[in-house]
């Protein structure tokens, strides 16, 4: 079938929508993206104030090969448009007792640093990394490459005589079966940050994350992460895809088992042969398809956590910080229980802190630090909403904790601030209840599986993004969009 006349409407220009659009356009389809906001990127967003440049969304780039493959579809070289730099210190971990433990790119140096914590840790680390590598290899051969359901993976594993995918044991139990020191358990448990989930609930297969980080590196986009969105815009232009900003889609129009068009907020209807929704799965059904999903589906697709995202421009430099840092809770188990089980604001949160000026002085004025503070917190709960005052109280708790753990006089040195709460995230991106990472990874709810890419009801409707397999995180969302584009092309 001739592809050149087929029209694809993409709703939303997050990484999933952009990668799907580029893949479809590279296959010869006519692509138009409709974005409700005034710039592309979705959560890959930016704010510039008084000489500070804040990355409002993701702060870490992993698996750059995924992005190289995407840019190649447009005949472009990734690094020509998105210059990246490897980080030698992956992140620095601070504890209330004054301990500080680095994760670094060099494996031999890493083991030396771990030996200073626990003499048994280097051997434990080697065994853990062999296990993490096994989880990655089993996942990469199927789930990360496009399988869309637990049954597909089970059949593949069975057919190839493979075992070892750690789905039934928790991520924390996987970590604890190798490391005995509580601080090292906390550190490797917190790789769950990539997917906004609890290591006590997420399946052990998520322990593939350390292998990905050590094997493929941790990267920074020079000039800020939004340069990735700008590079993807260039790829769209190379492929003559249309981009419509400030054009909100309010419905997906259907006829029987097919989608026929989309309707914009101004009433315009745009006919399409295929529609790709980059809006999260549940909001897309509620807002665009005007349907309510069943209780079991909603439980299975429970949103991952949200965050109180505090961006600070400060007139002081804190040299003890690395580019990426964690300020740990005294009791990590209780922190995760607060966020994921009790669904309340944490009393003693673990705080992720990004200080990009360690790598890139251009994102702040001279003599200043650009800081992002991100404690994970529950998503919006309409039945028991958190008040604006409670978010303000949490902000104070976070800043006080950072000062207590070494960032002296932080509050008195703030010159500019931009803080986002879960309701802000929900309102700006239509994410499910203000989730940052799509669908939670939980072995009891979903075994880390998200929603399928292809609609079960409409034969030409597809979904992409953090709520769709293979899940949240920049490379996974980008891979998801590419897989959607390939599926559409294969259907013609």
**C-beta separation of 67 from 82 below 8 A:** yes
Query: Which H helix or E strand runs over 173?
Result: helix 171-176
- Whether the bond between 311 and the residue before it is cis, its omega within 30 degrees of 0, is no
pLDDT of residue 4: 66
User: How high is the pLDDT of residue 3?
Assistant: 64
C-beta of residue 439 within 8 angstroms of C-beta of residue 446:
yes
Q: How much is the average pLDDT of 255-282?
A: 98
**pLDDT value of position 350:** 98
Which residues are CB-contacts of 237 (< 8 A; sequence separation ≥ 6)? none
CB 16 within 8 A of CB 40: no
Q: Helix, strand or coil for residue 340?
A: helix
**Angstrom distance (rounded) from CA 231 to CA 124:** 41
Mean pLDDT of 414-443: 97
Residue 58 has pLDDT above 60, yes or no: yes
Instruction: Please determine, looking at this structure, whether the domain spanning 7-44+223-302+439-490 carries the CATH number 3.30.200.20.
Output: no
Which residues fall within 8 angstroms of residue 346, CB to CB, at 6 or more apart?
Answer: 329, 335, 338, 339, 375, 376, 377
pLDDT score, position 447: 85
Split at pLDDT 50, 70, 90, the class of 5 is: confident
Share of the chain above pLDDT 90, in %: 91
Q: What residue has token string 């949103």?
A: 303
pLDDT at 445: 93
* pLDDT mean across residues, the chain: 95
DSSP-assigned states of every residue in 85-100:
EE-SEEEEEE-TTS-E
Q: Find the mean pLDDT for residues 251-265.
A: 98
| Per-residue pLDDT, 161 | 46
Domain ranges within the chain, ordered by starting residue:
7-44+223-302+439-490
* Least confident segment among 64-78, 158-172, 464-478: 158-172
* Beta strand segments in 135-184, E: none
* pLDDT exceeds 60 at position 2: no
What lies within 8 Å, CB to CB, of 185 at 6+ separation is 172, 175, 176, 179
Reported as a pLDDT band with limits 50, 70 and 90, residue 153 is low
The CA R_g of the chain, rounded to the nearest whole Å, is 22
What pLDDT, in 10s, does the model give residues 353-405?
999 999 999 999 999 999 999 999 999 999 999 999 999 999 999 999 999 99
What pLDDT, in 10s, does the model give residues 295-333?
999 999 999 999 999 999 999 999 999 999 999 999 999
- What average pLDDT does this structure show over 31-50? 97
């Amino acid at each position: 079938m001739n592809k050149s006349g087929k029209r694809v409407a993409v709703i939303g220009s997050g990484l999933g929508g952009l990668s799907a659009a580029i893949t479809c356009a590279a296959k010869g389809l006519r692509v138009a993206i409709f974005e409700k906001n005034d710039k592309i990127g979705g959560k890959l967003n930016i704010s510039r104030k008084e000489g500070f440049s804040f990355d409002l969304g993701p702060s870490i780039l992993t698996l750059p090969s995924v992005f190289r493959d995407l840019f190649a579809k447009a005949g472009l070289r990734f690094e020509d448009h998105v210059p990246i730099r490897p980080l030698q210190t992956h992140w620095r971990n601070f504890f209330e007792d004054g301990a500080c433990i680095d994760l670094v790119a060099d494996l031999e140096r890493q083991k030396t640093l771990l030996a200073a914590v626990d003499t048994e840790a280097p051997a434990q680390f080697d065994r853990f990394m062999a296990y993490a590598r096994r989880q990655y290899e089993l996942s990469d051969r199927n789930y990360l490459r496009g399988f869309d359901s637990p049954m597909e993976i089970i059949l593949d594993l069975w057919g190839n005589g493979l075992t070892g995918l750690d789905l039934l044991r928790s991520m924390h139990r996987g970590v604890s079966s190798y490391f005995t020191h509580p601080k090292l358990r906390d550190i490797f448990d917190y790789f769950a940050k990539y997917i906004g989930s609890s290591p006590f609930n997420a399946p052990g297969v998520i322990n593939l994350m350390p292998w990905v980080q050590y094997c493929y590196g941790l990267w920074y986009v020079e000039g800020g992460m939004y340069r990735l969105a700008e590079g993807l815009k260039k790829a769209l232009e190379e492929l003559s895809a249309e981009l419509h900003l400030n054009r909100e889609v309010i419905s997906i129009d259907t006829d029987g088992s097919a989608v026929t068009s989309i309707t914009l907020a101004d009433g315009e209807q745009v006919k399409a042969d295929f529609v790709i929704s980059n809006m999260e799965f549940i909001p897309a059904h509620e807002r665009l398809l005007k349907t309510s999903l069943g209780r079991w589906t909603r439980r299975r697709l429970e949103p991952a956590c949200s965050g109180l995202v505090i961006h600070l421009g400060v007139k002081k430099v804190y040299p003890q910080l690395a580019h990426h840092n964690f300020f740990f809770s005294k009791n990590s188990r209780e922190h995760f229980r607060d966020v994921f089980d009790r669904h309340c604001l944490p009393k003693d949160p673990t705080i992720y802190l990004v200080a990009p000026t360690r790598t890139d002085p251009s994102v702040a004025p001279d003599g200043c630090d650009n800081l992002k503070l991100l404690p994970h917190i529950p998503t919006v709960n309409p039945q028991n909403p958190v008040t604006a005052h409670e978010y303000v109280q949490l902000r104070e708790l976070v800043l006080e904790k950072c000062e207590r753990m070494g960032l002296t006089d932080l509050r008195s040195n703030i010159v500019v601030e931009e803080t986002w709460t879960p309701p802000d995230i929900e309102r700006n991106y239509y994410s499910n209840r203000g989730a940052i990472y799509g669908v939670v990874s939980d072995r009891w709810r979903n075994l880390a599986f998200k929603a399928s890419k292809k609609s079960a009801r409409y034969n030409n409707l597809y979904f992409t993004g953090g709520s769709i397999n293979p899940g949240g995180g920049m490379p996974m969302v980008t891979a998801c969009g590419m897989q959607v584009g390939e599926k559409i092309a294969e259907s013609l």
